[in-house]
A and B are shown apart, each in its own frame.
Chain A
Amino acid sequence: MFNTASTTPEKILQMLSALLLFAAVMGVILFIAGRFGGKKGDRIVAYLYLLPVLLLLAVGLVYPGLRTIYQSFFDAAGDAFIGFDNYGTIFSDADQLTVLRNTVFWVVLTPFVATAIGLVYAILVDKSRFESFAKTLIFLPMSISFVAAGVIWKFMYEYRPDQGNVKQIGLINQVIVWLGGKPVQLLIESPLNSFLLIVVMIWIQAGFAMTILSAAIKAIPDDIIEAARLDGVNAWSMFRKITLPSVQPTVVVVLTTIGIGTLKVFDIVRTMTGGNFETSVVANEFYRQTFNADNQGLGAALATLLFVLVIPIVWYNIRSLRQSEER
């Protein structure tokens, strides 16, 4: 049951037995919970309900998190304590500085561009006849894996050398040729390649921004809009004075959510360039250092850095939520 299953029937059998085991555990919990009543019993039942969750979180999330932070102060093999040296490397080594620079590009560009596009699109299609179809088109990339998205866009960026009768098969290079330019090795030229990878993330996240902002736009009270309309407000001031302030708290949530997601994305980089040609980001570098370069310490430091970078974004999010609730 705990071995590696290699044939399909074995795999299905293992899955079913795992589910049965889980059902049995749930059954025991519910059975014991059913024995208790009254106020004192309440407490026991509550802890019983929380037990499996707390156990999993402690072993699978809290302990490993603390352990990684601890490991980040050790050397490549994980044996010798070296203080903040790994962090020193991240902020001084030329390659690592490129990684940091790219990460800044990603985290600044993706949320703002994706949110802007999502907001504009949500307004453009709002209450139009094809609204739900139009939204699905933009939203669909959200259901695709980063890996598949990487493959889709790698094909867009495909390059064929500019010689004789060789034809471009990537749409972007074909457009460049149609416009009279020479084809470019889009995924190799730095820093252009980083921006082209960011486009993929924007392509995925714009749908998320649009969906959430569209719901916020629809929640703006009608009387406000009616009043503004009677005052003869034009489109631009309607957007700036009514729409934008009304959805502003939602915009912050969308920006920060996409920001956090972007910080942790590594699939796109790995699938499209493997982090080569100066395209690596912190999340990808973590994987590369840990598994390919066998530098456990630096890998742990990069993972910890990710964690540290998330905190200000979340803090900003919570602060602006509080402010908007006070208003």
Chain B
Amino acid sequence: MKTEFKHLQAAHCENGVTTNLLRSVGVETLTEPLAFGIGSGLFFVYIPLLKINKGPAIAFRTLPGHIFKRTCKSLNIEVVRKKFSNKEMAAKFLDSCLEAGQPVGCQVGVYYLTYFPKEYRFHFNAHNLIVYGSEGDNYLISDPVMENVTTLSKYELERVRFAKGPLAPNGQLYYPKENTTVTTEQIKNAIKSGIKRNVRDMLSIPGPIAGVSGIAYTGKRIKQWKNKLGQQKAGLYLAQLVRMQEEIGTGGGGFRYIYGAFLQEAHAFHPIDELMDISKIFTQAGDRWRSAAVQAAGIYKGRIGSQADFDVMGDYLLEIAEIEKKAFQALGKIKWNS
């Protein structure tokens, strides 16, 4: 049993699932950067009180699930989303979707995701993949971060759909409700509202830990890490920052490059020169994030590690906060013609 579905590799899993699912219902002009931008995917938050894998909780993107939800909503596409308390019901519902020819997005945990390399298998429960069919006891899987499609047995799929711990998926699946056509006008509006929402999230979110002020806040905290945490733990914290920024799915530079690509694509819909100029600022921000990562690597590899080195690291983030502030302020000032 196989649904009509085309696998396209993406940088990020949720972008990829969103793009591929919407393309399968007829939104053929959608690309990964468009999905990311329309879903206002760019973000920054550092939650000092929360620990992930014993390190700092840092994210460069918006909450899991939001990109799909917002993109569909902006394009006026109705979504079916279901969670299950019963594993058999979850499998049955999935099978009935596939029988009806509907590819389905699933939230899964990666710890038991057998095709991932061992080094990547942490208890992280917000990965997304698409089930697009079944063959005997195996399900056909399109994992958007991979070049090629793969399979999971019935048991393996059940195990990752019912992974436990923070953000437990509870068998969650989702898909766009029906085939639809999306007009250019709708995409134009969705781009506009996606940018406006992202400006609001990055510039006006209350509190010091999120948005551009969160980046500056993190920069200031990093300067204290050596003293507060000790050399080894401070190094591990920086390693975690780099992983959140560069690991699988970010497209490099903590999603800043994907956002730059989005603004260029947005320009094709809204021929406003500023969009191209601001895209360059995001490229610059991504480049600075990567320079910061190189500095961080010097510290966690033990090549450098003086207080001055931590200060340089913190200053990178303070500088990036200014760059991104400028970029989002410029986006906020754009005069949309339509």
Q: Do A and B bind each other?
A: no
